[in-house]
């Protein structure tokens, strides 16, 4: 059975795949801009607490369910449910997760397509194809549609190849490259005038903001989105982990990698913005806040690269390669959720499922591309602000209130025989039962 479903071949492979899912546009784009508009290090501080106190326990819930059930979210949640009425809820939660993650992928692939287009632009200029370069960075429906298709084709290609030969192989190549590019870019930006002002804006805390409810909501949303929680991604990756692995340890490594890369990305984006300011680029919006939305990545940073001459082209390629890699290792984890379900539940061939479901999601993306204004924000808000935290809550409730405590301990003990006496087991069950649900609801109703 395990061999049929696929399994990560090593701890490194799992870590690259799971941190690849977690590290995405949310880290490199979302986190630094959230920090900049929410009091710098005050946000960082709150985010760190929420990530480890709320998101990490929720991540562990998904990994443990996944590895126990060795199945997709629908089948896994059903297997934990003792009664038909609860099984019904399980199926519903699993399905809403599948729909939510598919919709997340449908908007994520649009933004990822932009990253891909910006990646190719400097090459076109180098070849003297300036008209093509201009077309690549002009916000047209045709460009967006074409690049959604290219990006989704890459995602489908990797998922078709399976867990070990697709997800693990590509994540193990792409994630170390991402790290190297990120560090090199930080080192380079630090040498430029203006960078230190950006560092200050990022790292000097404005603690007057910490009591602001918006900061809490933003930090929790960021933590859930960033760790890919609630939609069954981590559950399905958990289902491919070997029974020999120590779950609390590898879960905390994933959280550490995710948070670490978000913090590092802040060291790149904010200094880069202030370097842009130094070079005469407008980095503040009409309200005096830092430009944060799409404008940051597709206007402020490209404007900065343009002021840097030939080296600007190299930096632009490196930066958009970074963004594309971050997107791709996340998008594959999203497509894996509905694909695994169709393969396991309906007996579909993996390749066919990946192509069929991928095509359907691409179609939804194209509908959004051609109806951008009414649809894009709506889909983002519905999926990430409403659906994801609520689903995360249900996962916690299933583990803490429905599943049998001994069975959970038994699962954790595999790969971690002395789990019972460890710190994790002393704290986590209480957390997942009381603190996480109450905190998620409290922040949700803010
Ligand atoms: N964690 C990704 C990011 O930070 O960009 C986004 C994401 C991936 C969300 C996978 C949901 C998901 F299932």
Q: With a 6 A CB cut-off, is 72 part of the ligand 1 pocket? A: no
In the chain, pLDDT over 90 holds for what percent of residues? 79
Listed range (27-31, 315-319, 354-358) with the worst mean pLDDT: 27-31
Q: Residue length, the chain?
A: 446
Distance 312 CA to ligand 1 centre (A): 29
∠ at Cα 71 (155, 433), nearest 5°? 105
Spatial CB neighbours of 333, under 8 Å, sequence gap ≥ 6 = 17, 18, 20, 21, 167, 228, 233, 236, 237
Q: With a 6 A CB cut-off, is 101 part of the ligand 1 pocket? A: yes
Mutate to test the pocket of ligand 1, among 26, 110, 257 (most ligand atoms within 8 A of CB): 26
Q: With a 6 A CB cut-off, is 40 part of the ligand 1 pocket? A: no
Distance 364 CA to ligand 1 centre (A): 18
State pLDDT tens for residues 265-306.
999 999 999 999 999 999 988 888 888 777 888 888 999 999
Mutate to test the pocket of ligand 1, among 226, 229, 327, 392 (most ligand atoms within 8 A of CB): 226
The chain-wide mean pLDDT, for the chain, equals 93
Q: With a 6 A CB cut-off, is 26 part of the ligand 1 pocket? A: yes
pLDDT at 214: 78
Q: What CATH number is given to the structural domain containing 63?
A: 1.10.4160
Average the pLDDT over 123-127 and give the result: 94
Distance 306 CA to ligand 1 centre (A): 30
Average the pLDDT over 11-38 and give the result: 92
**Residue whose CA lies nearest to ligand 1 atom number 10:** 228
Q: With a 6 A CB cut-off, is 24 part of the ligand 1 pocket? A: yes
State pLDDT tens for residues 325-359.
999 999 999 999 999 999 999 999 999 999 999 99
- CA nearest 396: which of 436, 423, 438, 441? 436
Quickly state the pLDDT bin for 370 (edges 50, 70, 90).
Answer: very high
C-alpha to C-alpha distance for 21 and 178, rounded to whole angstroms: 13
pLDDT at 145: 98
Listed range (53-67, 155-169, 206-220, 248-262) with the worst mean pLDDT: 206-220
pLDDT at 172: 98
pLDDT at 386: 87
**Assigned token pair, 275:** 């370097």
Average the pLDDT over 29-42 and give the result: 84
C-alpha to C-alpha distance for 291 and 299, rounded to whole angstroms: 10
φ and ψ at residue 290, rounded to 5 degrees: -70, 140
CA diameter of the chain: 67
pLDDT reading at 3 higher than 70: no
Quickly state the pLDDT bin for 54 (edges 50, 70, 90).
Answer: confident
Cα 220 versus chain centre, distance: 14
CB atoms within 10 A of CB 386: 12
Average the pLDDT over 358-384 and give the result: 96
Which position has the higher pLDDT, 398 or 33?
Answer: 398
Q: With a 6 A CB cut-off, is 338 part of the ligand 1 pocket? A: no
Mutate to test the pocket of ligand 1, among 235, 264, 333 (most ligand atoms within 8 A of CB): 333
pTM of the model: 0.95
pLDDT reading at 318 higher than 90: yes
Please, how many CA atoms are within 13 Å of residue 173, restricted to the half-sphere of its CB? 8
Residue in the structure block whose two tokens are 């343009």: 306
Answer for the pair 257, 23: CB distance below 8 angstroms, yes or no.
yes
pLDDT at 38: 81
Mutate to test the pocket of ligand 1, among 24, 73, 224, 334 (most ligand atoms within 8 A of CB): 24
Total count of domains within the chain = 1
pLDDT at 209: 78
The domain containing residue 265 runs over which residues?
Answer: 2-445
Coil, helix or strand for 138? coil
Listed range (165-174, 294-303, 334-343, 388-397) with the worst mean pLDDT: 294-303
Distance 307 CA to ligand 1 centre (A): 32
State pLDDT tens for residues 200-259.
988 888 788 777 887 887 788 888 899 999 999 999 999 999 999 999 999 999 999 999
Answer for the pair 272, 109: CB distance below 8 angstroms, yes or no.
no
Q: With a 6 A CB cut-off, is 255 part of the ligand 1 pocket? A: no
Distance 13 CA to ligand 1 centre (A): 18
**Residue whose CA lies nearest to ligand 1 atom number 9:** 228
Spatial CB neighbours of 437, under 8 Å, sequence gap ≥ 6 = 393, 396, 397, 400
Answer for the pair 42, 211: CB distance below 8 angstroms, yes or no.
no
Q: With a 6 A CB cut-off, is 226 part of the ligand 1 pocket? A: yes
pLDDT reading at 2 higher than 80: no
């Amino acid at each position: 059975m395990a061999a049929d479903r696929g399994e990560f071949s090593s701890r490194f492979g799992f870590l690259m795949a799971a941190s690849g899912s977690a590290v995405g546009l949310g880290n490199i784009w979302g986190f630094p801009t959230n920090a900049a508009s929410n009091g710098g290090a005050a946000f960082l501080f709150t985010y760190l607490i929420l990530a480890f106190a709320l998101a990490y326990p929720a991540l562990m819930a998904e990994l443990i369910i996944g590895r126990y059930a060795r199945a997709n979210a629908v089948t896994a949640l059903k297997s934990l449910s003792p009664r038909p009425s609860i099984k019904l809820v399980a199926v519903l939660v699993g399905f809403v997760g599948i729909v939510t993650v598919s919709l997340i992928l449908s908007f994520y692939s649009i933004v990822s397509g932009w990253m891909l287009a910006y990646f190719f632009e400097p090459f076109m200029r180098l070849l003297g194809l300036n008209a093509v370069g201009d077309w690549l960075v002009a916000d047209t429906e045709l460009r967006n549609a074409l690049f959604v298709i290219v990006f989704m084709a890459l995602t489908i290609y990797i998922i078709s190849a399976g867990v070990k030969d697709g997800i693990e192989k590509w994540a193990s190549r792409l994630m170390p490259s991402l790290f190297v590019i990120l560090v090199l870019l930080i080192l380079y930006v630090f040498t430029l005038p203006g960078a230190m002002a950006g560092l200050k804006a990022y790292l000097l805390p404005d603690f007057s903001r910490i009591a602001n409810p918006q900061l809490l909501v933003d930090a929790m949303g960021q933590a859930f989105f960033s760790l890919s929680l609630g939609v069954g991604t981590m559950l399905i990756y958990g289902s491919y982990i070997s029974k020999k692995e120590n779950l609390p340890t590898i879960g905390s490594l994933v959280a550490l990698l995710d948070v670490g890369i978000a913090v590092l990305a802040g060291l790149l984006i904010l200094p880069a913005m202030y370097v842009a300011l130094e070079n005469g680029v407008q980095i503040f919006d009409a309200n005096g806040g830092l430009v944060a939305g799409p404008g940051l990545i597709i206007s402020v940073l490209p404007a900065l690269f343009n002021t840097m001459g030939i080296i600007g082209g190299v930096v632009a390629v490196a930066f958009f390669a970074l963004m594309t890699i971050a997107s791709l290792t996340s998008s594959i984890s999203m497509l894996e959720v509905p694909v695994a379900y169709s393969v396991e539940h309906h007996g579909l061939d993996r390749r066919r499922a990946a192509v069929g479901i991928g095509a359907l999601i691409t179609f939804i993306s194209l509908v959004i591309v051609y109806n951008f204004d009414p649809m894009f924000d709506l889909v983002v808000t519905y999926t990430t602000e409403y659906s994801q935290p609520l689903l995360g809550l249900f996962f916690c409730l299933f583990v803490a209130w429905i599943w049998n405590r001994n069975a959970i301990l038994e699962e954790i003990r595999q790969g971690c025989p002395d789990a019972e006496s460890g710190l994790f087991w002393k704290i986590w069950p209480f957390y997942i039962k009381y603190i996480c649900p109450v905190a998620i609801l409290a922040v949700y109703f803010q």
